Structure formats: structure tokens, C-alpha cells
Amino acid sequence: MHVKMIASDLKNYLTDSAPFEARVHSIFKDVINLIDHQGELITLISENKMMAPMTLQAPFNRSVVKKMVSDDIVMVTDSKISFKRLNWQLEFISADIWQADFETSALKFDSRIFIECADIIREALLINGDNGGLLPLIKVLEKQLQVEPSHMNLPKNNTYTEFIEEVFITLVNHLKNKEYEMLSNILPRFVGFGPGLTPSSDDFLMGMMITLYLESTINKQDQTRIREMTEQIYNSCISKTTTVSEAMLKNASKGRIASAHRNLIETIYSDCGDHVREKAIAVINNGASSGTDFLFGIYCAQRILLSRAFNR
Amino acid sequence: MSRINELFKQDLKVVNMGLESFYNDLKAQKVETIHMNWRPRAGGNPKMLALLKRLNTKK
Amino acid sequence: MVLYDIRKNAYYDSVTLMLISKEIKQIEGVTEVLVGMGTELNKELSSNLGLGGEAIDGLSPNDFFIAAEVSDEQVMAEVVETVARLLTQKKASGDSVYRPVTLSAAKGMIPELNLAVVSIAGQYAEDEVDRLLEENIHVMLFSDNVSVEAEKKLKQKAVDRGLLMMGPDCGTAIINGIALAFANVVKRGPIGVIGASGTGTQEVTSLIDRLGSGVSQVIGTGGRDLKSDIGGLMMLQSFDALIADPETKVIVLISKPPAPEVAEKILKKVSETSKPVVVDFIGGDLEMIRKAGAIACISLEDTAYKAVAAANGKSADDFAGFEMSDSEVSKIVSQAISPLKPSQKFLRGLYTGGTLADEAMKLLGNQFGGIYSNIPLSPEYELENLNVTGKHTCLDLGEDQFTVGRPHPMIDPSTRTERMLKDIDESTAIVLMDVVIGYGSHENPAGEVADSVRKLKAKVGAPVVYVASITGTSGDPQGFESSKEQLEAEGVIVMPSNAQAVRLVGKMMHALAQKEA
């Protein structure tokens, strides 16, 4: 079988490290995760899913998924992946390349547009978002950052947000004040928390990281510090959260995220416009509360950037 | 013909419950096999098991 | 009360997890519930909610858990059912598959499942096996601690449905050329074997392979099958299957001496087939077997010889000697015995395979004043407190008193290693051992024995004689030849079978007695 598309970071990784043996880590309807000898997660997705870092997309079907079991041995070379037991091979020599890194040259940061955009995202969160994760913290976030209250009802606290509220406030204040070196104290009390295979706090951190990362890239400000900060977030989560979550945080710390999420971020850092709402809802529709928590992370970063902009 | 003689003519397709090493040995022999994440029903609580059985027979 | 449902290294997508959480919350009588992955903070939260406990403390971030506080047991049962249903539902639709927790989910992944290998704790085995048989899935039940009543019920069900129910306590089978649990890589061929003894079956089938023949099927029955309580249900059932099997030209039966009425039933079947039937009721009545028209055997090795001869259309005399010439045997014996010091008098049999230990004692008999054991041939030779001083001994290290809290010595050789260092001293003349290789066994049992021998050479100030046999084939993962080389490199005398190793030891003991006289 031929692979349709391969992420550029995966392609580079395989060129450097293959051949090696990996094993099947987890299996879902449209997603198969492999884990390799170095603990890197490599993801296979069907055509029903959108591209993401360290991912390849192939037209596999349910019958393959059903026969697969975890720990199945997989041989990985720089041109193909072979599932020995299933006699199934994926060749990717001729696959299209999906660029895992953002093309930022056409993006911009305009605080006026940014406010407008943050308001739309807020609305999408409150109307379409899932309140099962960290979203109820929007109330304390806005209070901390002195966002003007709106007429919309805010979600009530849940078990998770009650538990994490204080830590969250501290986290937001550190970010707002650019006290990045203080994060290492607070992150162990934050990562890997909440429901889901990727715990809510991790989804939140991903959205927050990528938004700040891009802003610094686009404005060419604080780039080194931001990169150190995202790397630090990733380091704090090692072995404190699930393998899948850890891999996603690693990618996000390098400015790499899934294409559905990227579509939204690109819109935020361009003309905003009507598409933001529909792209935000597309993000919310990922997983149970994962999409909402990711979007809430973006929103948090937006408000932090805006509060800094106004204080200036 | 008994099912045993039918089995002799088929490829083995094995479900393994318990020791994972048996599953690994089967995989090493290229047998189609699946390892169950077996755990005692009702956490192994005998009272619970009895209760579950009763619930099941009610249905 | 708090209910925990924990699945190690289990991945379910977030939508499934949320669904479970929501559904459980709606069950009346559930006051608190937490569903998630076992990260530190999630664990801390569960403890804050009063849902903490040992079950949760030990989790790692890749373990999935459900913790629910419920009002009573009825509610608890409902929660368990709901979770099982939701997870299975998801599995069946292929939404999240990792390792199935239920049989129906497993069937969803491999619809034509035809065999189950079951090695879960014995007290749960009855229910699981019963369900497997309901699904017409053949069963190999490795677990022990299954009651006689349960065994009888399950085997009766299997017989009614024409299924295999190998076990409980069945360690060895080879079905369609596939080694199950503790079994060797044996070439396929015309000999069908039914064994009530695991290591006995391994010894016979390995020797069949080394004699150039092979097996069609190797079926285990579990050690109790031929007792009167069970009545040989599985041996009789398997016997019929091998009679009907066109690939099987010769049938071999291996068991400790059966209950007389069971022996009668089994031997009656011999007359129902034209296929030669080779029987080793280890140490049992040979005449009864011969009268029934079957071929009687004097050792496990002899069983292999006679089965291979029968497969070649020949008959064979009892094999009671050695593969090497008499002069070679004499040379080995005198070379081994002459350096021994006067203090070196005793035999130490240290076996990992129970049937092989039993065979050793039966072949040696009482000629040297009785051998003490934890599985003695007669009660007066029961070894008290495992104190071996001043006696000939032969131990089955696979028995419960040695394996509490650790795996069988075929998997974990440390039991024997410890015993060797403890029991072998200046009073020891000869050490007799088995080395069982193949699937299921330790990755290098011969290497472990060789290591211990090396250590003992440094520790014991006397030239102890080590004799061993290897149960296994050149196709086994550990390799027969490489196992042999490792043992011989440390001066262990490796004989081609347990019977020959025992006979050699017998000759050495005689030579020792003469030397003393």
C-alpha cells in the first residue's frame, strides 16, 4: 500500500534514524500509534483524519485495524513501514510531503484584529465548547487579565477546575509577567491533569504554547526565551502524562501542531475574518474536551498578549 | 466428525488469557493471536460475582 | 464503598472516556465518579474526592482507571456492567482497540478464534473456560487450583461439544505444529501423543524428534484426567480424535498409573483401532497393557523408541541400555568415580520436571538403600524439612513448597541454583539434573546450570560428578546443541535422555559401592 502523505518532520527523522524496529502502541478506528526504540511516537492516520506532525496518512481500512494488536512488531526503514505479522507494508517513497513547520512569512500580528478574533473565539468556546475540562476557568482567567465581562453566561466550575484553579491563576500570572523561569515550579502541579487520553491541562498547554511561539516568531521578539519556555514545558511533562500527550507536547514545543489546529492559528495571525468561527468550531469538535481545552489555551495566550499590548 | 478433528485442519487462532509470555511465544511462532487484558470480573469480589450472575440471569 | 476498574496500559479515546463518565454519573446511587488516566494529579484528585486507595496509588500515567463511590453492591454491579458494555460497544465498532477485556471484544478482533490458552488464577478459571466452551472454542487450561468438580463439569461440557479441554494444570501441547505453553519445537510427523504429564510429554516428543520422526498432534489432558474422579474424559475424547485423524499413524499415551477402572476403559479403546498404540503408564503394570494389544514401555525414552519404530512399521525391543558402547560407558564411569574422596557418598537429584524426577527414582529403585524425596516412591522416604544430610535425595523443585511466591523452576532457575549451592557439599558424590528447554522455559537454563557448577567447583573442595540430560530439540529457541556445549564446557556429563542419565548414575553408584567395599 502506498502512503498518501508524510509529515516532513517524520521524513527527516526516518532519514536520520531508520532502519529500526518499532511496535504498535495503541489502535483506534482511524489512528494507529507506533512507538519506536527511542520512545518516539509515530502516527498512522486514515484518510478520515487530518495531517499532524510525525504522522503519515494512508488509505487503510477497518479490517486492518481489527487484526492489529498492540505490541505487534513493525519494521521501519526510510522508505517503508512493514507490519510483519499482518504482512502489510506501507511505502512512502513517492508520498507527498506535508510541511510540519509553519510558514510564518505571510503572517502578522495586529492587536486590533487580535481583539476581534479573541472575542469570536470566546463566543465559540462559550457556545460550542465542552465544559467537562478546563473551560470553566475562563472566569478566573478573565478576572486576572481584567477582560471586560460580557452578557454571556460562564460555565460553572467542575471537579477538575476546582482542584486546579489556584495553580492555574499562578500560571497565568507568570505568563503574563513573562516570568518563564518560574514555570518550572508550577508545571509539575499542572501537567497531566484532567479527563481524557490527552489530559485537559496538556491540551491547554499546547494551545497556549503554539500561540505564544508564533507571536514571538512573527514579531521576532523574545524568540530564544519563548523557545526555552516551550522546551521547559515539554521537559516538565516527561513521564508525568500519557505517552500520546507527551508526544503532542513535544511537537507543539517545536511549533508543530496538527493541521486542523494550524488552520485556525493561521487565521488568527492574518486577517481573522468570518472563517475564524468555523475553524474554531472545527477545533472544538476534536475529541471530547480536548479540542475545547486546546482552544481555551489559544484564547488564554491571546488575552495575555493583549493585556501586555495594552499595558505597553 | 468432532470439532477436534476440524481444529486439526484449521490455522490456529488463539486468544491468550493470563501469562503474557505464552502470547509472546505464540507470536514468535507466527500464530494469529490476541492477548486479552484479562482481569477478574467485578474485581474478583466473590459477592459481586454472584450478584452479577444474578443480574445476568434476570435479563 | 468505592469501586475501582483499572486497565493497565489501556488506551481509549477521549470520547469513550467521557461517555463512560457521563453514563456512570447518571446511575442512581453513584455519588462520585472519576474516569481518567493514572497521572499524579489525577491520582491526587481522586484522593481529594475520597476515591483514593492502594489500587489508585500504584497507577502510572498510561493506566486507565475508573473510581466510583456507590451506595451499595447492587449499584456497584450496575456500574461494572455499564463500563463493560460501553467499552465492548466501542470495541465492536472498532473505535478503540488495544487489548480486549472481554471475550466478545477479542472475537471482534479475530472472529474465527478456535483456541484459548488460559493461565489466569485458578479460582477464576472455571467461569472463563465455561464461557469459552459455550463459544465452541477449544481450551488449554494451564492454571492449577481448579477443583475436581469444576474439572469434571468443564470436561463433560467439552466432551458433549466435541471440544478439547486440556487441563487444568496442562503444561504441554503441540497443536497443528504450534507449541503451546511448555513445549518443544518438534518436527511434524506420524505420531500422535496424548499426555497427562507435561515434562513426560516433552521428553517423549523431543526424543521422537531427535530420532528423526515427528508428531501429528500432542494433546495434554492435565494430571488428574486418569484418576477415577474424572474417569479419563479427555484422554478418551482425544484418543477418538487421533483415531479419526488421517495424519496420525501411531498413537502414544503417557500418564502416571491410572485408576484401574480408567485404565480398563482406555485400553478397551485400543481394540477399536488398527493404529498401533504405544502406552507408558509410567511405572505401571506392563502386562495389562500388552494384553490389551498395545505396546508397553519401560521409560519415556523407550516410549519414543517404540513409537518411532511403530511409525516405520517395525517393532522394537525394550530400550534399556545406552546409545554409546559398553566400553565407553565403563570408561566414563571409572573416570568419574576414581577421583572421588571417601567422604563423597551421596546422590543429589535436582529436577525441574516432576515426571523426570519420578522416572529417575523409579529407574534407580531401592538398590542403594532408598532415595529420599519430596515426591517419594513410598512414604518412608518422605524428606523431612528438606534436610538432605546423610541421604540420597531426588527433589522435584516444581512442587509447591519450592515455588511459593515465584515462578516454576523451568521459568526461573534460581530455585535450583539456590538448592544446588545449599545441598551440594563434600559429602556429595553425584548430582543428577534435567535441563528442560523449549518454548515456555527460561531463555537459557543450561547456562544457569553451568554457572552454578562453576561456582560449586570453587566452593566445594571435592570433585563432584555432574550428570544431566537435556529435554529439547535443535529447533528450540535455546538450541539443543548450544545447551549441551555450555554444560560440557563445565565438565557436566550430558546423556541423550533422562533414562540414560539415570542409568549412568546407577552404574556410577555401583562402582562407588564397590570402591568402598
From chain B, the residues in CB contact with A67 under 8 A are: 32
> Is residue C516 classed exposed, middle or buried when 0-12, 13-18 and 19+ CB atoms within 10 A define those classes?
exposed
Answer whether A192 sits within 8 Å of C41, measured CB to CB: yes
Answer whether B14 sits within 8 Å of C100, measured CB to CB: no
**Cα–Cα distance for residue pair C37/C67, rounded to 1 Å:** 11
Q: Are A196 and C36 in contact (CB under 8 A)?
A: yes
- Joined grid coordinates for residue C231: 474417569
Q: For strand A88-91 and strand A80-83, is the pairing parallel, antiparallel, or unpaired?
A: antiparallel
- Phi/psi at C87 (5° precision): -70, -40
From chain A, the residues in CB contact with B33 under 8 A are: 69
The second-level CATH assignment, the architecture, of A5-98 is Beta Barrel (2.40)
Torsion of CA C95, C99, C102, C106, to 10 degrees: 80
- Joined grid coordinates for residue C275: 493404529
- Phi/psi at A21 (5° precision): -100, 135
Q: What is the ipTM of this complex?
A: 0.89
The per-residue b/e assignment along C82-115, b for 16 or more CB within 10 angstroms, e otherwise, is: bbbebbbebbeebbbbbbbbbbebbbbbbeebbb
pLDDT at residue B58 tops 80: no
Residues 6+ apart with CB under 8 A from C378: none
Of the partner residues A67, A69, A85, the one whose CB lies closest to the CB of residue B35 = A69
Claim: this prediction has a pTM higher than 0.80: no
DSSP reduced 3-state for C59? coil
Cis, bond preceding A19 (omega within 30 deg of 0): yes
The per-residue b/e assignment along C160-172, b for 16 or more CB within 10 angstroms, e otherwise, is: eebbbbbbbbbbb
**What are C327's strand-pairing partners?**
none
| pLDDT at residue B48 in the model | 54
**Cα–Cα distance for residue pair A134/A12, rounded to 1 Å:** 35
For A261, A309, C432, C452, the CA distances from C341, given in Å and listed in that order, are 82, 95, 18, 21
- Range list of H helices, chain A: 8-17, 62-67, 111-128, 138-144, 159-176, 183-186, 200-219, 223-237, 243-253, 259-268, 275-284, 290-311
Residue A290 to chain C, least CA–CA distance (Å): 8
Answer whether C244 sits within 8 Å of B5, measured CB to CB: yes
| pLDDT at residue C197 in the model | 93
Q: What CATH superfamily classification does C168-311 receive? A: Succinyl-CoA synthetase domains (3.40.50.261)
pLDDT at residue B59 tops 50: no
The residues of B whose Cβ lies within 8 A of any Cβ of C are 1-5, 7-8, 10-19, 21-23, 25-26, 28-29, 31-44, 47-49, 51-52, 55
The answer to whether domain C326-516 has CATH 3.60.21.10 is no
What pLDDT digit, counting tens, does each position of B2-53 carry?
A: 899 999 999 999 999 988 889 989 988 989 999 887 776 655 555 555 655 5
Q: Are C187 and C144 in contact (CB under 8 A)?
A: no
Q: Alpha carbon A133 to chain centroid distance?
A: 15
| pLDDT at residue C89 in the model | 60
Answer whether A199 sits within 8 Å of C94, measured CB to CB: no
| pLDDT at residue B47 in the model | 57
| pLDDT at residue C455 in the model | 93
| pLDDT by 10s per residue, chain C, length 517 | 888 888 888 778 777 777 788 888 888 888 888 988 999 999 999 998 889 888 898 899 988 899 999 888 888 888 888 887 777 664 433 333 346 777 877 887 788 999 999 998 888 899 999 999 999 999 999 998 899 999 999 999 999 999 999 999 999 999 999 999 999 999 999 999 999 999 999 999 999 999 999 999 999 999 999 999 999 999 999 999 999 999 999 999 999 999 999 999 999 999 889 999 999 999 889 999 999 999 999 999 999 999 999 999 999 999 999 999 999 999 999 999 999 999 999 999 999 999 999 999 999 988 888 899 999 999 999 988 888 888 999 999 998 788 776 778 998 898 999 999 999 999 999 999 999 999 999 999 999 999 999 999 999 989 999 999 999 999 999 999 999 999 999 999 999 999 999 999 999 999 999 988 8
Q: What's the angle, vertex CA C483, arms to CA C482 and CA C487, rounded to 5?
A: 115
| pLDDT at residue C132 in the model | 96
In 10 A of CB A170, how many CB atoms? 18
C65–A contact, CB cutoff 8 A: no
| pLDDT by 10s per residue, chain A, length 312 | 889 899 999 999 999 998 999 999 988 888 999 999 888 999 999 988 889 999 999 988 777 887 888 888 899 999 999 998 888 899 998 999 999 998 888 888 888 888 889 999 998 999 888 899 999 999 999 999 988 877 788 899 999 999 999 999 999 999 999 999 899 889 999 999 998 888 999 999 999 999 999 999 999 989 999 999 999 999 999 989 999 999 999 999 999 999 989 989 989 998 777 688 888 988 998 878 899 999 999 999 999 999 988 765
- Phi/psi at B14 (5° precision): -115, 135
Answer whether C49 sits within 8 Å of A159, measured CB to CB: yes
From chain B, the residues in CB contact with C217 under 8 A are: 8
Q: What's the angle, vertex CA B7, arms to CA B4 and CA B11, rounded to 5?
A: 165
**Cα–Cα distance for residue pair B3/C351, rounded to 1 Å:** 37
**What are B39's strand-pairing partners?**
none
A69–B contact, CB cutoff 8 A: yes
Which residue of B lies nearest to C105 if distances are taken between CA atoms?
Answer: B36
- Joined grid coordinates for residue A185: 515550579
| pLDDT at residue A282 in the model | 87
Multiple choice CATH, C2-105, 3.30.300, 3.30.1240, 3.30.70, 3.30.1890:
3.30.70
The residues of B whose Cβ lies within 8 A of any Cβ of A are 27, 30, 32-35
Residues 6+ apart with CB under 8 A from C139: C115, C116, C118, C129, C132, C133, C154, C158, C163, C164, C165, C166, C167
DSSP reduced 3-state for C501? helix
For chain C, give every domain's residue range: 2-105, 168-311, 326-516
**Cα–Cα distance for residue pair C175/A65, rounded to 1 Å:** 28
- Joined grid coordinates for residue A278: 468555523
Residue B54 to chain A, least CA–CA distance (Å): 33
From chain B, the residues in CB contact with A23 under 8 A are: none
| pLDDT at residue C408 in the model | 86
**Cα–Cα distance for residue pair A186/A171, rounded to 1 Å:** 7
What pLDDT digit, counting tens, does each position of A243-269 carry?
A: 999 999 999 999 999 998 998 998 999
Do C2-105 and C326-516 have matching folds?
A: no
In 10 A of CB C261, how many CB atoms? 11
Which residue of C lies nearest to B52 if distances are taken between CA atoms?
Answer: C77
What DSSP string describes C138-185? Answer: EEEE------HHHHHHHHHHHHHHT--EE-SS--EEEETTEEEESB--
| pLDDT at residue C24 in the model | 86
For chain A, give every domain's residue range: 5-98, 111-311
The per-residue b/e assignment along B41-57, b for 16 or more CB within 10 angstroms, e otherwise, is: bbeebeebbebbeeeee
A65–C contact, CB cutoff 8 A: yes
